[in-house]
Structure 1
Amino acid sequence: MNRAKPRVLISWIGRNDLNALDGNGLGPLASTLTAVEFDRVELLYNYPEDEVKPYLVWLAEKVNADFQAHAVSLSSPVNLGEIYQQADSHLARITSSGPELSILLSPGTPAMQAVWILLGKTRYPCQFYQSSLEQGVQKIEIPFELSVEYVPAASGLSATKISQLAEANAPINAAFDNIVTRNPRMQTLKAQAQILAQREVPVLIYGETGTGKELFARAIHNASSRASNPFIALNCGAIPSELVDSVLFGHKKGAFTGAISDKPGVFQQAQGGTLFLDEFGELEPVVQVRLLRVLQEGICTPVGGTKEESVDVRLITATHRNLMEAVSSGAFREDLFYRVAVGVLHLPPLREREGDLSLLADTLLAGLGDQDAALKHKKISPDAKNIILKHPWRGNVRELQSTLLRSALWCQGDTISAEDLRQSLFQMPEKESGITQRDVSQGIDIQQLIGQFAGDYIRRALDCSGQNKTRAAQLLGLKNYQTLNNWMEKYGIS
């Protein structure tokens, strides 16, 4: 009598799983193991042992499952190359015994989820599960197949190549020629940035995520008199609050637990060159005070040190936040704002760069072909171009780059079709507060916004009243149904 194949589940341990120890629900992993029975569970994790071990004890008490946990070394939880290597290695080990394989997608970073789908749709056929508070535990179907041409390419791609293709970082030698545009507003910004490059003034760059703030910063540095000296980039939003001083100004050996040697901060590393502080608006007020002193006096003191050190850097900052609002509310120091906001560049989102979408798409795809021969002859079909032109691109150039990469990997020939592109797009829900968060400095249509706002509430009031206009007018605080009719006519609400 043939024995059924053992059912094996593999999953990362994610932050929401570890948070279950604090009483925040079961987490996706425990929820899945409670709802679905497996013969064996293989768990991968990149968290410290002192966080994971208590969780594993807790998990063993909650679920009746035979699981094995494996520590995985990653330099970053979003390093696609390292994630691919580790996931591929463990999947090869598990599938060598011929089990019925399942992958839980929910825990882990988006990069981890993307690698699961890549491997599970090519080298290791499997079933996919996901778990959420809203939908519970579900077996899901990924509604596409990766092309047969891609499968051998996927197995032959090195970890470094996967990382290079997936990352849309600004090139180290970025120049203003790398800023591809036909848009008059962007051309003006390029000209202004070239002028700023020749002057030793701080520069503040505004723009949504993915609009090219670092590309502008590197181009300014490379066109300046400091080009032969270091360019150091730092994401202020990614620094743990307890390490901000050490990261910015350095520390001395023994300054705190783990400080086994002297370490320079980014100000010292950028000596003579340019320091680019991205997500600058995320710095806490107490750090803003110390940063202001460094900018005013050109000196800083490493953590645990007693001797002041002189620093000579050109500062370029970037943020997606409205710092004037932050200054007004007291969340950001006014004196620091005026210190960094000497040269100011407002980068428009991609949806406002008329004439640039098609040009950028072709340029980015050609760039992918330059990095990998398998993508060298890929083209975009006219139907796919139409989708590109209509998509809002909330992630801007970065979203466009990653979408084109997925499309190029998945398309079966040399031409990216409309269907290839649709499969590659992420449909992000609108933020409910978005209508009140528009950047007025870039210009808005207030009548259109009022119409959107009014239309939403009028339709909801009509639904609540069973389409009774008199009752709907009362719910909206309007005088009578005639006033409601006037509003509906004014804003074209049916």
Structure 2
Amino acid sequence: MTSGLHKVLISWIGGNDLKAVADKQSGPILSTLKNAEIDSVELLYSYPQAEVESYLSWLQQRVDIPIKATEAKLSSPVNFGEIYLAVEPVLKKLSTAETELSILLSPGTPAMQAVWILLGKTRFPAVFYQSSRESGVERVEIPFELAAEFVPAVSEISDAKLNALTDSRVPINAAFDNIVTQNPSMHVLKQQAQILAERNVPVLIYGETGTGKELFARAIHNASPRREKPFIALNCGAIPEELIDSTLFGHKKGAFTGAVADRSGVFQQADGGTLFLDEFGELSPQSQVRLLRVLQEGRLVPVGSDKELPVDVRIITATHRNLMEAVADGHFREDLFYRVAVGVLHLPPLRAREGDLSLLADMMLKAQGDQDPAFSGKKLSADAKKVILQHPWRGNVRELRSTLVRAALWSSGENITGAELQQALFTMPEREPDLLNHDVSQGVDLNGIMGELAAHYIQNAMAHTAQNKTKAAKLLGLKSQQTLSNWIEKYDIE
């Protein structure tokens, strides 16, 4: 690794380290710090707080470097899943371009050591040490390479539970078991959704495309007292503005050109059950007004009719847009927002669901093989799993599913290689401003370009300094707060 980096050692606090205090020995951690060039220490522990505090005080008296210790709440010191979830965030925080990461393998259980090796050889490259009374402190060379993410063991999941992951359509009988995950945040979301299912309140689900918004909506319906009544789903973004009223509330024959018969809207179709309005943020302001009235009064008037009809519908809405920003910008009605945002669920993107990528990919491939013999036995190689872990998955589960189908189709062998998976990916270009390559022959807005650049850095500097103009001006190389104010005024920067 490059010299001049900040060298940090990470380790579990082991039993031999705690005993070292009473036995007047060094213990693995202190021995390593005495024999290796280390700038700071990050320790993890699951022992009682009092024992650890005594040890940390003893250790700090013997080394002149920063020591930080983090408690890991483990139900068992051999629970791979809990160990992984305790270790991964610390490694992620420490693994930077300015840091040389070292891992001490000796303290802890074999399960802890296995997780260190798997993560230190894949996602967070590290130098390994071990320390013993017999051999002293040694740098360990692990003579093999790994490419797959460590995935904690999970119980077998039936094929029925994989339907929602292998089919673009959400199964009618979708339940919370269909939402397969080993991520703690997702487990919390499932628990929250189950609580909402038991109550007859509106639910708003936030999430990027492909994160499972309809899957959650169907599961809530199927776990609710309305489960025997209809579940109707509507994509609001796919309905032309002139047909919104008819689609939502229905119409009478002759109400407009093409209305050749009476037609019930989705509210009437969902009467007694659940209406799921996807892409809810795409509704026009005019449609929002009419929808709010129906939600408030529980009554609607079909297009072309003068008769009100009662409806009893539980509303679940979903959007990828930030409706709070839309309300602030005047693009979405505040009263409608608060009407639908009673129970709110924020679904994380797949790239933020730690531990789920490899799990979902393997299960999707298995389900494909169960459905079509041509896919039977297909597996992901270590290189292919590395590609999966490095891809951002902007389309989330939907993108992962379609990519695996393409890769399986193109793969010539049983194992899908990294190159085959890479070929199956769609890599979207990053939208970064290219301020130096505008075509001058076509004319350029120099003032606008300067304003865009100024706004970017001024807003960042103001945020970094908690809106302190004097400090922000200094960060930006400007002479004074007044100079910064002049720039803000000149380019109309918020």
Q: TM-score band, normalised by the shorter chain?
A: 0.5 to 0.7
Contact 1:166 1:405 in 2 (8 A): no
After TM superposition, list the pairs within 5 Å mapping 1:184-263 onto structure 2: 184-263=184-263
Say whether 1:294 aligns with 2:294: yes
Contact 2:204 2:317 in 1 (8 A): yes
Tell me, what secondary structure is at the counterpart of 2:204?
strand
After TM superposition, list the pairs within 5 Å mapping 1:467-478 onto structure 2: 478=478
Deviation at 1:298, TM superposition (A): 0.7
The one-letter amino acid paired with 2:274 is: T
Distance in 2 between residues matched to 1:185 and 1:248, nearest whole Å? 34
Distance in 2 between residues matched to 1:411 and 1:285, nearest whole Å? 49
Deviation at 1:413, TM superposition (A): 2.0
| CA shift in 2, pair 1:167/1:239, >3 Å | farther
Deviation at 1:180, TM superposition (A): 1.0
**TM-score, normalization: structure 1?**
0.54
Q: Which runs of 5+ in 2 are unaligned?
A: 1-163, 434-452, 458-472, 481-494
Deviation at 1:368, TM superposition (A): 2.1
Contact 2:165 2:397 in 1 (8 A): no
Deviation at 1:367, TM superposition (A): 2.5
The one-letter amino acid paired with 1:261 is: A
Structure 1 window deviating more from structure 2 (206-215 vs 361-370): it is: 361-370
Distance in 2 between residues matched to 1:165 and 1:200, nearest whole Å? 28
Contact 1:197 1:223 in 2 (8 A): yes
Cross-structure match for 1:381: 381
The one-letter amino acid paired with 2:392 is: P
Deviation at 1:169, TM superposition (A): 2.2
The C-alpha deviation readout for 1:273-332, integer Å capped at 9, x for no partner, is 110000000000111111011111111111111111111111000000000111111111
Say whether 1:340 aligns with 2:376: no
Contact 1:194 1:223 in 2 (8 A): yes
**Number of corresponding residues:** 282
Q: Which runs of 5+ in 1 are unaligned?
A: 1-163, 434-452, 458-472, 481-494
The one-letter amino acid paired with 1:362 is: D
The one-letter amino acid paired with 1:195 is: I
Contact 1:207 1:347 in 2 (8 A): yes
Q: How big is the alpha-carbon RMSD for the aligned residues of Structure 1 and Structure 2?
A: 2.5
Distance in 2 between residues matched to 1:397 and 1:222, nearest whole Å? 22
Contact 2:166 2:368 in 1 (8 A): no
Cross-structure match for 1:127: none
Counting aligned pairs with the same residue, the percent is: 74
The one-letter amino acid paired with 1:367 is: A
Cross-structure match for 1:325: 325
Cross-structure match for 2:264: 264
Cross-structure match for 2:353: 353
**TM-score, normalization: structure 2?**
0.54
Distance in 1 between residues matched to 2:431 and 2:319, nearest whole Å? 19
Distance in 2 between residues matched to 1:191 and 1:166, nearest whole Å? 23
Deviation at 1:376, TM superposition (A): 2.5
Contact 1:165 1:368 in 2 (8 A): no
Distance in 2 between residues matched to 1:195 and 1:295, nearest whole Å? 22
Structure of larger gyration radius: 2
Distance in 2 between residues matched to 1:370 and 1:313, nearest whole Å? 38
After TM superposition, list the pairs within 5 Å mapping 1:75-474 onto structure 2: 168-432=168-432
Deviation at 1:432, TM superposition (A): 3.8
The one-letter amino acid paired with 1:198 is: E
Contact 1:210 1:397 in 2 (8 A): yes
The one-letter amino acid paired with 2:247 is: V
Distance in 1 between residues matched to 2:165 and 2:391, nearest whole Å? 22
Distance in 1 between residues matched to 2:399 and 2:192, nearest whole Å? 26
Tell me, what secondary structure is at the counterpart of 1:344?
strand
Contact 2:271 2:313 in 1 (8 A): yes
The C-alpha deviation readout for 1:51-105, integer Å capped at 9, x for no partner, is xxxxxxxxxxxxxxxxxxxxxxxxxxxxxxxxxxxxxxxxxxxxxxxxxxxxxxx
Contact 1:165 1:405 in 2 (8 A): no
| CA shift in 2, pair 1:166/1:181, >3 Å | closer
Contact 1:237 1:283 in 2 (8 A): yes
Distance in 1 between residues matched to 2:329 and 2:181, nearest whole Å? 36
Could you list the runs of 4 or more consecutive aligned residues of structure 1 that deviate by over 3 angstroms after TM superposition? 164-167, 476-480
Deviation at 1:371, TM superposition (A): 2.6
Distance in 1 between residues matched to 2:261 and 2:370, nearest whole Å? 42
